[in-house]
Amino acid sequence: MSVDAPAALIGDPTRATFLLALEDKDALPLSELARLAGVGNSTASIQLGKLVDGGLLSVERHGRHRYFRLASTEVATALEALAAIAPDRRKSGDRPLPNGIRAARTCYDHLAGEVGVALLDGLRREGIVEGEVELTPAGRARLEALGVDLEPTRRPLTKLCLDWTERRYHLAGALGAALTQRMFELGWIERTATSRAVRVTRKGRGGLLSLGAEL
């Protein structure tokens, strides 16, 4: 398998700006992506077309507007992994990340940041997952009782994702997504208005503690 083509697509500064912006948002129109990258609409259209053709983005039409989003969870995971091996901004003197993003955020559709890492640690302590990251029978029963949707999907049930701010792993895969969705439904975490940072509520602190997460 060759990584040349996706690496070349991601390595362009303009295209990288588009990808990172779409990791932060569900979907954005061409004009907004052009503004974020500081390029004209025609340039943005060409570069976005390359990302679509390369399988990194998908596009939908709504009236006269085209909305772009990451093509898959694998693209989001690849971006997170690349960020994990990038120079640490805390050491480089660059402007630090906002506390909210570092503390808790969504990594495509699962929980990341300090809280995401703490959650995986807690699931292991509670025996909900074991080994590299395998759901135990007792863990399945416990999560189903919590209302987590564990119906089979095409995605792997459990998967480790390297957290780019903590330099440790958080839980991804279908279980990571379903557990995160359930935490939103239960009011344990809330989305913020301007980014993929999430806020842990007072109720959520107790809920996460019940899963062994030490915040």
| Digitized pLDDT (tens) for each residue of the chain, 215 residues in all | 577 888 889 888 899 889 888 876 678 899 999 998 889 999 999 999 999 999 999 999 888 889 999 998 788 878 877 776 665 544 444 444 445 778 898 888 899 999 999 999 999 999 999 998 999 999 999 999 999 999 988 889 999 998 888 889 999 999 999 999 999 999 999 988 656 789 999 999 999 999 999 98
**Do 98 and 125 sit in the same domain of this protein?**
yes
Here the tokens at position 42 are 């025609």
Gap between the Cα atoms of 58 and 27, Å rounded:
10
Last residue of a domain, one of 39, 71, 103: 71
The total domain count for the chain is 2
Rg (CA), the chain: 18
Last-in-domain residue among 71, 89, 113: 71
Do residues 59 and 105 both lie within one domain?
Answer: no
User: 201 exposed, middle or buried (CB, 10 Å; 0-12, 13-18, 19+)?
Assistant: middle
Question: Do 13 and 113 have their domain in common?
Answer: no
Where residue 55 falls (left for φ over 0; alpha for ψ -120 to 50; beta otherwise) is: left
* Distance, CA of 8 to chain centre: 22
Domain for residue 60, yes or no? yes
Same-domain pairing of 63 and 95: no
Residue 177 sits in which domain range? Answer: 76-210
- β-partners of residue 112 are 105
Q: Is residue 35 part of a domain?
A: yes
- The overall pTM is greater than 0.85: no
84 and 107 assigned to the same domain: yes
Whether residue 64 sits in one domain with residue 87 = no
Identify whether 215 is part of a domain. no
Angstrom distances, CA of residue 96 to CA of 18, 174, 186 = 21, 31, 31
Instruction: Say how far apart CA 199 and CA 201 lie, in whole Å.
Output: 6
d(CA 50, CA 42): 13
Residue 39 has a CB neighbour count (10 Å cut-off) of: 18
In this structure, the answer to whether residues 26 and 99 fall within a common structural domain is: no
